Structure formats: C-alpha cells, structure tokens
Structure 1
C-alpha cells in the first residue's frame, strides 16, 4: 500500500471516528466552560470572603484540583476525539495522561481526607481533631501519594498501534500501551483499582457512621422540642438561649457534612464507569478497536463521565451552603469579592 493511499485511508477512518465522537466533544466543551466558571467562583468566594472558616478549609483546594482536572482531562479528551487514530505527539500524550491521572487521584484522596475530618467532627467530637498543622500535613501527603501512584503513567501510556479491519489500515492512538510494558500496566491497574475500592469502602463506612450520628442527634432534638412545647416560656432556664445557639451551630456543621457526603456520592457514581473501562482496556488490548461506531460513542461517554465530578461541586455548594449562596448572590449583584 502506498503512503498516499495509507494516509488517505487513515484520514478517512479518523474523520469517521471524530464525527462519531462529536457529541462527547460538545459535552466536554460545555464541561470546561461550566467547570472553569464554577470552580473559579468557589476558589474566589471560599478563598477570599469565607477565608478562615474551619468547616470549609478543604473546599478551595478541592475546587483548585477540580479546576485543573477539568481543563486538563476535558481538554486532552477533546484533542483525542479529533485525533483518535492519528495521534503523533508521544510526549504530549504521555504527560497529558500523567497530569490527568494526577488531578483525578488528588481529588479522590482529598475526598477521603475530608471524610476523615467530618467523621472526627461528628462522631468523635471530644477526641483530638484535625489542627491546621495536620490539615496542611494531610494536603502534603495527598500530593505525594497521588504523585507516587501516578508515576508509572508516562511509561504505561503512549502511542499505541490502532488497527481497522474495515479500512485495512494501522494508525496510532494515545492510550494505554498494549504491546509493551503489559506486566507493569496490569500491575498498575490492579493497584489503582484496589486503591479505588479501598477509598470507596472507607467513604461508605465513614459516612455511614456520620449519617447514623446525625440522624440520632436530629431525633434527640425532635424529642426535646416536643417536650419543651409543654413548658411555658417564663419557666425556661437561662441557658436555653445558649443551647439554641449551640444547636444552630451543630445544624450548620451537619449540613456541611451532608454536603460533603453528596459530593462523595457524585464522585463514586461518576467515576465507577471509568474504573470498569480501565479494567477492560487492560484485559483486552484491542478493546477500543473492536467497538462498532454506535457502541464506541456510548462507551466513550461512559469513559468521560468522571468529568462530572469536577464540575458538580459548585452546584452542591450553591444549594446546600447558605454562606456560599449568599456571597454568590452578592457577587452577581455587582459587589466586589475583595470588599
């Protein structure tokens, strides 16, 4: 086959795939717009107006990771859609994959750290809590741990041969390498999936305990309120007002905890399809090449659903965090964030 005919066939195959994957490209572009605007607002409001709020310490850092993640992963996946089988920049492929995985794992570890903090706050209020020093140490450990787990990516990802039986042509795709380093790739896949399963299990266990504690406290308050209805206001103790203030603070703490619980649920749901495809890629070296066009579009959508995790959090804050929603309204009414 001459170079001209090979290049034309490869170009025809690539254009067909680009058209097939166009809906996912549009979706990713929307994710970038929403993610950049939403996470930038979160960083600005929590970092400037709500700075120093202990309950919300990790939120700006999580938003920063989400901002970097949505720009990196969505941007890279858009370029992949348009150069699905004629990718030619090996270094860009390797390091884009590395930084994409790094931001995803950073986000995952941060959610675990937040879950531990909420567990201590709600379930162990009289035990030793996370101090500012330990929060900073946790951030450092999160980054180091994510970097270590992501380290094999530049080796296990690169330009992999992609073959089409219909076009009878071989191209190159930026993805997990299936011809070389297969043992390292398999080992890395096992480590990542065991780690994901462990973190998901930890999130479920921690937030189950947190949920039970919050439910028990709410039921206790309902009982107290029912009993107090029979007492005249004149006979109420002097400490009732302080008790009411303490209860409001606890309700705020509970609401923020429930907010983080919802964020974790969104993470688990949006990231699970990616984990399944991650495994299938390793078990079948020709996984993507063997998919028919319509199936490829569906699987590709499932492959990028994890991006939802990076754009959903600002909406959660807007609906569940009163202080954030108040500052958001002031921002759009023309008030300066730094005022």
Structure 2
C-alpha cells in the first residue's frame, strides 16, 4: 500500500509468462460500491423522498391549521404533538437514513450516526406514547362521560411524560450505534456503515435492547387494542339503546294520544258515550286521528289542539337540546374514528419492519447474500414505519370536514397572494 492510500493487488493473469499488477484506489472502489448499492435500492430512496416531501408539507399545514383555527382542546394538543414528532422524522431521521443508504460503504461520521439513531428511536417512541394518551382520552370521553375528564393541563403533562419516557428509552442508541465494518471482496479494503458498533457485535446488549423495544411495542399495542375495543363496544351499545329509545318514545306518544282523545270524547258526549259504548280510534299513516262511534258520527281531534299548543314550546326546547347533544356525540365519534385510523396506520406500518428485524435476529446470516431484487425489497420494507410520518395529514383530510375546509381556504389564500 502506497502513501496516497492506494492499494496494490495482484490480478493473476498469464500474459507471455508475466504477472500483471493492478493498482486500485480504495476510496474510488468504495464509492463505486456506494453507487451500485444506491442504484439497487433506488425505489427505497424514491419512497423515502416522497415520504419526506409529503410529511414535511402536510405536518406544517396540520400545525398551522390546528394552532390558528381550532380551539384549545386535548385533541388539538395531541394532534399538534404528533405533527411535531413527524416533522422531526421528516427533517432529521429520513434525510439521515437516505444519506446512510447513499453512503452505505463510506459512512464515517460516528457522531452523526448516533444522533440519527437516537432521533429515529425517539420519534417512534414518542408517537407510540402519545397514541396511548389519545386512546386513554377517547376512552374516558366515550366510556366514562360522567367521570373526570382529561384537562388541557393533563394532556400537556401526558405529552411531556411521553417525551421524557422516549428520551429514556432511546438514549442507549448513543452507545450501541456507531461505525460498523463492512467487508468487501478485497480483504484489505473495508467499508463503514451506520449500524451497531463493532464493539457490540456478537454481544448480548443489542439483543437485549431490541428485545426491550419490541416488548414495549407489544405492550403498547395491547393497551391500545383493549381501550379501543371498549370504545367500540360502548358506541355500539349506545347506538342500540338510542334506536330502542326512539321506538319506545314513538309507541308511548301514540298511546298518550289515544288516552287524550278518549278522555276528551267522554267529557263532551255524556255518560252514554263512554269508551265502553263503542268508540273506535282510527290513526292514519299521515298522523290524522279520528274517533268514530258505533252510530258512524265522527268526532275530530280539535279538542286536543289546546294541549298541543301548551306542550309545543317545551318539546321544541327538548328537540333542540337533543339535536345539540346528538351533534356533539357524532362529532366525538368521528374524532374517535379519525384517531383510531391514525393508531391503526401506525401499528400496521411497523409490522413489516418488526417482522424483518425478528427474522434477522433469529437467522443472523439470512440477509447477508441477497439478490439485487431481494436487497431492494428488504431495504424498502425495513423502512415501512416511515409511512406513519406522512399518513396523518392525509387521514385528517379524509376524516375532518373542517380541516379540509381550512386547507382549501389556506390554498386559496396562498395562490391568491402569489397572483397579486
């Protein structure tokens, strides 16, 4: 090896009995491996770039609209926190991962590797912790409406605890991650990658840490599933009771009208026209009520108009209160469904990543010799959890009518300002 970091290798080809010596530049060779690997996983890089753009723009819009247009609430607190965490992912974790993929053989900045690993873990843990807080808040609102609800202060405390817990869980990345040696076909030329540090290769510490993270994920998913199952059961029960109550109310109203009509007829027609004397009540489909005697003389329902006028005001008030309550309940259910979708996407986006991590932990050499197509698929699905960083704004747009309206108004304002 010469002083200019060039390495000499013998390419043993026989030419007139001579041996040809070929000199290879190590940096150029590693860079060629970088280029070849980047071309192989180009779909993954394009995927990450799309997630970055959509997530960055979408989460900025979410922060602006929820902070400027929505009133203070626990839901706003949680939604804005998720958007900020996703922005952290889009601004640091995803660009860092793209840089790591592009420099797969020449990643030598150990400090940057540790920071990127920490940010990636922190954003994931923080999102999961906030989703547990969201599920708890939804559970209290839907299943325990008469109990003490989570206040704005409590929501902020929950967010703070989520961040502190995430920092506590993620700090081992500063120790475990660093420069990992990557072997090449030339024994004297080795690359470096951002992964588990060489000092911990073959030790139990990475396995313990990854197992601890996996256990946290399983516990979190279990808690979220239990809470949303209770919410779902309560909503179904409430809908069933509401339908039954509506039916009973309708039947009760008809019975009350029958009694009023018969009582009024008895008071105006004398003792010979008692209900037992043969009155027959006819209730038509359009609500018109007529009482006929056996003599065939109809008696209209005009006597009950006074009773209707007295109760009209109170019934209107009750209908207004019920309508307002129904709107609040529908809004709460729509919000719960939206937040449930966010949680579902979060969980599903992690399944491919966790499956590959578990397979790699069980069979350590399974992914060492993959074909180019398998390498591309492996790196793509290994980063499936980044979908969560761009999906939330899309879910808000589909599930929240007011958010869509505010987005349209914002776009109109921006384009109008640019034209003028």
TM-score (normalised: structure 2): 0.74
Pair 287,167 (structure 1): closer, same or farther in 2 beyond 3 Å: farther
Q: CA deviation at 1:54?
A: 4.0
Pair 306,168 (structure 1): closer, same or farther in 2 beyond 3 Å: farther
Bigger mean CA deviation after superposition, 82-91 or 273-282: 273-282
Paired residues of 2:74 and 2:155 also in contact (CA < 8 A):
no
Asked if 1:51 is matched to 2:130, the reply is: no
Counterparts of 2:368 and 2:105, CA distance in 1: 10
CA RMSD of superposed structures (Å): 2.5
1:211 aligned residue: 232
Aligned residues: 336
1:184 aligned residue: 205
1:2-30 per-position Cα deviation (integer Å, ceiling 9, x unaligned) = 53344343232221101011111111111
1:105-124 aligned at under 5 Å gives the runs 105-124=125-144
1:95-143 per-position Cα deviation (integer Å, ceiling 9, x unaligned) = 1111111111111111111011111111111122112222121111101
Asked if 1:81 is matched to 2:101, the reply is: yes
Which runs of structure 1 show a deviation greater than 6 angstroms over 4 or more consecutive aligned residues? Answer: none
Paired residues of 2:115 and 2:174 also in contact (CA < 8 A):
yes
Asked if 1:293 is matched to 2:372, the reply is: yes
Q: CA deviation at 1:266?
A: 0.3
1:50-69 aligned at under 5 Å gives the runs 50-69=70-89
Asked if 1:16 is matched to 2:36, the reply is: yes
Q: CA deviation at 1:226?
A: 4.9
Counterparts of 2:184 and 2:359, CA distance in 1: 19
Q: CA deviation at 1:203?
A: 1.0
Paired residues of 2:353 and 2:383 also in contact (CA < 8 A):
yes
Q: CA deviation at 1:224?
A: 4.0
Counterparts of 1:83 and 1:90, CA distance in 2: 13
Pair 90,256 (structure 1): closer, same or farther in 2 beyond 3 Å: same
Unpaired runs of 5+ residues, structure 1, are none
1:242 aligned residue: 321
Counterparts of 1:328 and 1:260, CA distance in 2: 19
1:295-334 aligned at under 5 Å gives the runs 295-334=374-413
Counterparts of 2:109 and 2:80, CA distance in 1: 34
Structure with max Cα Rg: 2
Counterparts of 2:75 and 2:384, CA distance in 1: 29
Q: CA deviation at 1:283?
A: 4.5
1:198 aligned residue: 219
Unpaired runs of 5+ residues, structure 2, are 8-23, 254-286, 288-307, 416-420
Counterparts of 1:222 and 1:164, CA distance in 2: 70
Pair 226,325 (structure 1): closer, same or farther in 2 beyond 3 Å: farther
2:244 aligned residue: 223
As a proportion of its length, which structure holds more strand? 2
The structure whose RCO (Cα within 8 Å, separation 6+) is larger is: 1
